[in-house]
Homo-oligomer: A and B are copies of this chain.
């Protein structure tokens, strides 16, 4: 397990969590993730865009284009009600996984 290996499977929760707070476009999301994690997490293009596409296919997010005066047009993502329900379940899973892992590795919490 490297840092990147551990991150596998957590992309969905991370993206949905951030989108549940506010509508964002992809690039903005990537920066937010890097900032909020103090550089620990960094989503590359090859990770982020396919993940967003998958979330949209699943009906967890919706997207729309907007032009920008500062650069190329942006694709904004909004979490759906289905996405909110999914997020709630994913957070429960994360909590359970965390509890089990900490029991095994002998760490109380992070």
Give the interface of A toward B (CB within 8 A).
1-14, 17-18, 33, 36-38, 40-41, 90-91, 93-110
Q: A37-B103, A37-B104 are in contact. Are A6 and B94 (CB under 8 A)?
A: yes
Do B40 and A1 touch across chains, with their CB atoms under 8 A apart? no
Contact of A13 with B109 in the complex, beta carbons under 8 Å: no
Main secondary structure of the interface of A (DSSP, over half): helix
Specify the chain B residue showing the minimal Cβ separation from A36.
B104
Copies in the assembly, this chain: 2
Q: Is the CB of B104 within 8 A of A7?
A: no
Are A101 and B10 in contact, CB atoms less than 8 angstroms apart?
A: yes
Residues on B with C-beta less than 8 A from A96 are: 40, 110
Partner of A1, one of B93, B99, B102: B93
Q: How far, in whole Å, are A13 and B98 apart by their CA atoms in the complex?
A: 13
**Contact for A107 among B2, B94, B107, CB less than 8 A:** B94
B9:A6 contact, CB within 8 angstroms: yes
From B18, B40, B90, B97, contact of A100 by CB (8 A): B40
